[in-house]
Amino acid sequence: MKIEWEPNGGDRRIHGVYTLAGKPFCMHMAESREEIEFLQTGKGTWADLMFAAQIDFSGWKCFGNRPVELAFKQGLLDKDTLAVHVLEVTPREVELLAESRCGVCLCPRSNWTLHGKLPDMERFLKAGIHPALGTDSLASEALVSGSDLKVHFVEQDTNIQWRDHVI
């Protein structure tokens, strides 16, 4: 199966549809080292999975980038975008997220379950980003309620404001 890569094409059009509908354009990105390895080199676990699924990505022109950098280059990071996870980000990528004024949603429970790592909340707050806390999906956790996140991340720090919101 050949899946075409459309730089500045498909993703940008989908972003536009969400913007017109007044909804955030959500992108799950920079969640794992394997994702970054794939985007930077076209190799690794993700490449192996694509080969196994007979997905031909030989024509994709996304390689050589980190996830947030690639989204930025494609014009996908703006105030209407919600970047989900951003667990594996460099200081420069945090700057790009802050400069683009996009929303950030951290999914600590999912990250811990799948990758044994928690997002660096303080890093985002220092950059002027006020992240939402999400639960990701039932694909990574059996519970999609955010009530325990509130207990662990908000009630321990009185400087954090909590607002319930469902997308």
Binding mask 45-84 for Zn ion (x = CB under 5 A): ----------------------------------------
Minimum distance, C-beta of residue 85 to Zn ion, in the bound complex (Å): 6
Q: What angle do CA 85, 86, 88 make, to 5 degrees?
A: 120
Please name every residue paired with 132 in a beta bridge, in sequence order, or none if there are none: 105
Single out the residue of 63, 127, 60 nearest to residue 89, CA to CA. Answer: 127
Using CB under 5 A, pick the residue from 11, 15, 25, 28 that binds Zn ion.
28
Number of residue whose CB is nearest Zn ion: 28
3-state secondary structure of 63: coil
Strands of the sheet with 81-85, listed across from one edge: 25-29, 81-85, 103-106, 132-133
What is the three-class DSSP state of 44? coil
Q: How far is the CB of 36 from Zn ion (least distance, A)?
A: 15
Least distance (Å) between residue 156 CB and Zn ion: 25
Distance in Å, CB of 158 to Zn ion, minimum = 29
Q: Give the x-and-dash track for 120-139 against Zn ion (CB under 5 A).
A: ----------------x---
Examine residue 93 and tell whether it contacts Zn ion (CB under 5 A): no
* Main-chain phi, psi angles of 149, to 5 degrees: -65, -40
Binding site for Zn ion (CB under 5 A): 28, 136
